[in-house]
Every structure is written in C-alpha cells, then in structure tokens.
C-alpha cells in the first residue's frame, strides 16, 4: 500500500512527466520489480501520450493490425506501435472495457505482443531490440499498469482475473485472486474431468 508521504510526493510533483514517472516507480515498488531505464521511459511516455485520448479502445484494433501490413516503412511501424501501446493500456488500465467489448484481456495481450514483435522484425537493430523487449515483457508491463489501476479500483472481476492468470501467468491477476481469499489453480474440473 502507498504511504502518506508517497501520496504527498505524488501530489506535489508539478509536471505531468514527473507525476507519471512517480506513479510508475511506485507501482514498480509495490509490484516488486524494477524496469530498466528504456522500458520505464517507454511506459511513462506511452501513458503521457494516451492520457487524454478519449478514443482509446473505440475502434477495432485487429483491423488496424491487418491494415498495417499494407503500409510500408515508418507508417507501418507507427501504426503497429500505436496498436501495441493501446493494447497495453487497455489490458493494464481498462481491462473491464475489454470484457464489455466481449473479448477477454488476453485478446489485447496477444494483439499487443504481436504488434510489438512485428515492429521488431521490420526495423533497425536498436529500435528492434526495444520492441522485442516490449513484446517479451508485455505481461509485466500490463501487471504494472494493473497495479496502478488497483490504487483506485480493482482492475478485473474475479473470473476475468482467473482467466488472465491462467492464460498469461499475470502476477497482478494472481494477487487479485488471492487477495479475495480465492485459491488460484490452473484448469478447473467439469463433471470430474480436468479441463485445461
């Protein structure tokens, strides 16, 4: 939980950049991880870029993903980056909106990972490494965003948290389940037969 001094520090930070940076660092501390500088900066700037976007999760990102394959060079990379970033933010900060759209959070995880991975396969070396790291660390970044979300309201409903944990190994989803006095287990039983 956040201490009073941390809350005061967050409130007293004046710039949007420093507020997001403080919040991400607080989530890292509460979650028990430390992002490297490149990943932390990417997450902070993504939060800043989309913080005022009223259209987040308002369009079919899968169609944008398919259409990106008809673009070339910088346009393709930018569209894929936007798709990956939006998937990260929806899965981390607004997972209940995914459920309202009749798709699970796992859909956004898979699509976001794919977008970042695709960028890493078509761009120059230095940038490719960053996007490969984003693809590989997608669940960790989502968990950090869900940690931020938990500061105000639960990120997921219990069943959605169970499904997300089972499909992605999300530690944030696992902790949300166990914090509600439930015992997370992989798979479940129907009529005495195991289902995985």
Angle between helical axes of 171-179 and 158-168 (0-180°, round to 10): 140
* Per-residue CA distances from 93 to 3, 38, 66, 108 (Å): 22, 21, 24, 12
Segments making up each domain of the chain, as ranges: 4-195
Is the Cβ–Cβ distance between 189 and 195 less than 8 Å?
yes
3-state secondary structure 48-70: HHHCCCCCCCCCCHHHHHHHHCC
pLDDT at residue number 184:
61
Residue pLDDT tens, the chain, 196 long? 444 444 434 444 468 888 999 999 999 999 999 999 999 999 999 999 988 776 776 678 889 999 999 998 899 999 999 999 999 999 999 888 887 888 889 999 999 999 999 999 988 888 999 999 999 999 999 999 999 998 888 777 788 888 888 889 898 888 888 877 666 665 543 333 334 3
The neighbour count for residue 49, using CB atoms within 10 Å, is 12
Output phi, psi for 40, to 5 deg: -60, -45
């Amino acid at each position: 939980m956040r201490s009073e001094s941390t809350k005061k520090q967050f409130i007293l930070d004046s710039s949007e950049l420093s507020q997001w940076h403080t919040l991400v660092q607080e989530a890292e501390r509460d979650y028990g991880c430390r992002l490297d500088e490149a990943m932390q900066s990417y997450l902070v700037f993504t939060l800043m870029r989309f913080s005022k976007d009223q259209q987040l999760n308002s369009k079919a990102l899968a169609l944008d993903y398919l259409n990106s394959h008809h673009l070339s060079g910088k346009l393709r990379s930018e569209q894929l980056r936007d798709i990956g970033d939006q998937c990260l933010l929806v899965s981390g900060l607004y997972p209940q909106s995914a459920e309202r759209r009749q798709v699970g959070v796992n859909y956004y995880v898979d699509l976001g990972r794919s977008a970042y991975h695709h960028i890493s396969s078509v761009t120059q070396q230095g940038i490719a490494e960053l996007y490969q790291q984003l693809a590989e660390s997608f669940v960790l970044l989502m968990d950090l965003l869900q940690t931020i979300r938990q500061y105000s309201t639960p990120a997921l409903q219990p069943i959605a948290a169970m499904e997300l944990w089972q499909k992605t190994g999300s530690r944030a989803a696992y902790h949300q389940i166990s914090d509600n006095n439930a015992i997370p287990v992989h798979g479940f039983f129907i009529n005495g037969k195991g289902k995985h």
